[in-house]
Amino acid sequence: MKHPRKLVFCCTGSDCKKSGGKSIRKELKEAAKNGEIKGLVKLIQTKCMDMCKSAPVVIVGDHFCKKATLEKVFNELKKP
């Protein structure tokens, strides 16, 4: 049985926060509460993932979004 929600891991290490990860996580959280992705994702906040040179890092399902932007994350969420 396939899981109905996609797992989204947001790194909250210091380099990711400085590179914009904090705002990405905040906007994803808002969209998951009452936006277009409501009920489709499970947002998980992680500690440093040791990929600091690629900050900010967001993992959507099994895909790593390096130097993530909100557009990249939403594009990955729309893929089946």
Which structure tokens are listed for 80? 């089946």
CATH number of the domain enclosing 62: 3.40.30.10
Torsion of CA 3, 6, 29, 26, to 10 degrees: 150
pLDDT of the residue at 38 = 85
Question: pLDDT tens, position by position, for the chain (80 residues)?
Answer: 566 788 999 999 999 999 999 999 999 999 888 888 888 899 999 999 999 999 999 999 899 999 999 999 999 988 87
pLDDT of the residue at 25 = 92
In a domain, 39, yes or no: yes
Question: Is the separation of the CB atoms in 60 and 68 below 8 Å?
Answer: no
In a domain, 10, yes or no: yes
pLDDT of the residue at 13 = 93
In a domain, 1, yes or no: no
pTM: 0.87
In a domain, 40, yes or no: yes
Counting the structural domains of the chain, the total is: 1
pLDDT of the residue at 15 = 93
Residue 41 structural domain: 6-78
Comparing CA positions, the residue from 60, 69, 61 lying closest to residue 21 is 69
Comparing CA positions, the residue from 48, 45, 35, 23 lying closest to residue 77 is 35
